[in-house]
Amino acid sequence: MVLEVKNLSYAYGNKCVLTDVSFSISEGDFLSVLGPNGAGKSTLFKCILGILPDYEGMISIKGKDILTLKRRTLAEHIAYIPQLHHLYSIDVIYEKTSNGHIIVPTGLDKKSHVENTGIRRIS
């Protein structure tokens, strides 16, 4: 497994957003996460990215707990595209994220966008 999530739970205070979520993804797999607003999609990704490290359960990449990985190592395996209200072609998204770039909507300052999405500078 490249990515494995086991019994993941997360709460904002007393509000439980994720409860006992488990799945695994092998190399070459694609995963879509769909759900209504407030279902926990963004929270799930923030946990996987290590942005919300105080979750219950286990998240591992290639058998290693993500909480023990350096940001650079984690970035070699995961690309993050924050929710945008602009449309990009799949070719542009693939090209940018496969090279470790961050896509910033037109007219936004990259530094403030990165800070607002919780992305940390890797190099």
pLDDT of 11-30, one tens digit each?
999 999 999 999 999 988 88
In this model, does residue 47 exceed pLDDT 90?
A: yes
CA distance 121 to 123: 6
CA distance 88 to 106: 11
Of 4-8, 95-99, 104-108, the least confident = 104-108
| pLDDT class of 67 with cuts at 50, 70, 90 | very high
Q: Is residue 66 a contact partner of residue 45, using CB atoms and an 8 Å limit?
A: no
Give CATH for domain 1-78: 3.40.50.300
Q: What is the mean pLDDT of residues 43-58?
A: 93
CA distance 22 to 59: 9
| pLDDT class of 114 with cuts at 50, 70, 90 | low
Residue by residue, DSSP assigns 24-77 as EE-TT--------TTSSHHHHHHHHTTSS---EEEEEETTEEGGGS-HHHHHTT
CA distance 101 to 82: 12
Distant-in-sequence, close-in-space partners of 75: CB < 8 Å, separation ≥ 6: 100, 122
- Helix and strand counts by DSSP (H, E) for the chain: 4, 4
Domain ranges of the chain: 1-78, 79-123
What confidence score (pLDDT) does residue 92 get? 65
| pLDDT class of 100 with cuts at 50, 70, 90 | low
